[in-house]
Amino acid sequence: ACYECLRGGLDFTKDDENVNSQPFMRWRDRFLFVSEAIYKSQAESGEIKGHYLNATAGTCEEMLKRAECAAGFGVPIIMHDYLTGGFTANTSLALYCRDQGLLLHIHRAMHAVIDRQRNHGMHFRVLAKALRMSGGDHLHSGTVVGKLEGEREV
């Protein structure tokens, strides 16, 4: 699907934030497959293409191993779920990306737990600024109205 989307005119595609390393789709196989799709679509279209490979993992070491693999394949950008992965992990990954010339796309998976309720938690703008301070290059912003908006009627 990545190749078809990229060849059809999209500049970038992305892993879903829930895509990690399931038995039917291991991360290393997915990284290789998508890298090949990027290069094939670039060669055919003459345009720069990319895909946000989800490097989020259960440990910093595993996450950095995934980032190193992506860099080895020559992809331009990787993705990290910074709330589920943690700020320290995000900063470690951001520093690695700077050294390797990779862009770091940040997904906001789990943000609604923190910012959905107006009476407690924190505004998403605060989370976005914290993300920038921890090194993310750009942030998944979601929809204008939000998929989790609205109050439940009791």
Give the count of beta carbons closer than 10 Å to the beta carbon of residue 44: 12
pLDDT for the residue 94: 94
Whats the size of the chain, residue-wise? Answer: 154
pLDDT digit string, tens, across residues 23-60: 777 899 999 999 999 999 999 999 999 999 999 998 99
Round to whole Å and give the CA distance between 3 and 7.
6
pLDDT, one tens digit per residue, over 62-117 is: 999 999 999 999 999 999 988 888 888 889 999 999 999 999 988 766 555 666 66
Distance CA 21, CA 31 (A): 11
pLDDT of residue 151: 65
Look at residues 85, 101, 84, 95 and name the one whose alpha carbon lies nearest to residue 136: 95
Structural domains of the chain, with CATH? 2-139 (3.20.20.110)
What's the CA dihedral at 105, 134, 89, 84 to 10 degrees?
-70
Distance CA 123, CA 114 (A): 8
Sign of the dihedral through C-alpha 52, 57, 59, 63: negative
